[in-house]
Amino acid sequence: MIGAETQYRTLVRVLPAWYRAERGDEMVGTLLDLHGERARAALWSELWALLALGVRTRLAGRAAPARTVALGDLTRVGVLLGLLWGVLRSAGYAGDRLSLVLAHPGGDLSPFIHSALRSDLIRHLVLLAVALVPLALLVDGWRRAARIAAMAILAAGALWGLTRYSLSLGPDLVVNYAPQWLPLVLLLLAFHADAPLPPARPWWWAIGGSLVAAVTTGYLFADDLSGLAGLSPLVWLCALSGAGYLLLRRRIDQRAAAWTLALAVCLALVVAQTLVLKRGIITFDLLTIAQVSLAGLVVAALTVTGIRDYRRTVVNR
């Protein structure tokens, strides 16, 4: 039993130190009792519950130390912003392709190009649903349905990725798809039963505004969304939103620190994704370097401000 106790004490380390100090010995005792009774099914159930508890306590929404709640808030805001970027990007590209299809309904384009445009439009509409469905369910309060939808999408995406990219997995592929799939993974982890749901009205406005802005941008800059002049207008829309947030925010608290740091991380991933997509297509001339530098300045300003707010509201509280 000494060996079993050592193993279970190691397993209990999935829980944060503050929780282990309160209930660690009790949980080890429960596991040892089940081990001695050879109740294998109950033991596995307890171990699974222990793992789920470890996630909930490390990404807590309440009743936890301030640093733990801050990490949970940061992750949840990052999930929402990441899904919102998926909605914005996919809607923009879908609007771009739809305008091209409607502008050339007949024989203006070759059948091959017309078919390619339709295929691309369908692909971006699917990606729009991938981001929009879990986000809308979450904002509307359907936490369990949002998690089920995210799990189903991740399973389908994993099968698709294995069949298409099994022989070409590399850093570029990871950076390209991280902004799309990482929010779904973190949704499963961070929006557990004890986590607060996002306020509905502001997020519905954000979703609706993103759809309108994406379609408008796709129509006005149809040739430049994935074009040859540096960063996409959609990326600039995000960068300007981040800069506007820094200039217009009114209060500094723990939630503000989470928002600022989440904006910095999401914008950095978006810029990296765009550069990976355009590698080999655009030349890094002075204009492109200037655009990347300006977006990088916004990321740096958000990061520095977020760290400062975190120290003021969490560390030094």
Higher pLDDT, 111 or 56: 56
Maximum Cα interatomic distance, the chain, rounded to a whole number of Å? 79
Q: What is the pLDDT of residue 142?
A: 93
Indicate whether 140 pLDDT > 60: yes
Closest alpha carbon to 261 in 304, 228, 223? 304
CA angle, corner 159, sides to 155 and 162, nearest 5? 135
pLDDT band at 223 (very low <50, low <70, confident <90, very high): low
Q: What is the pLDDT of residue 228?
A: 45
Under a CB-based contact definition with an 8 Å cutoff, are residues 88 and 203 in contact? no
Q: What is the pLDDT of residue 148?
A: 94
Under a CB-based contact definition with an 8 Å cutoff, are residues 102 and 117 in contact? no
Mean local confidence (pLDDT), 277-306 = 79
Q: What is the pLDDT of residue 133?
A: 92
Mean local confidence (pLDDT), 256-275 = 86
Higher pLDDT, 290 or 3: 290
Kindly report, residue by residue over 159-182, the tens digit of the pLDDT. 877 777 665 666 667 777 778 888
pLDDT band at 196 (very low <50, low <70, confident <90, very high): confident
- CA 125/CA 213 separation, integer angstroms: 16
Kindly report, residue by residue over 39-82, the tens digit of the pLDDT. 667 767 777 888 888 888 888 877 778 888 888 889 999 999 99
Indicate whether 214 pLDDT > 50: yes
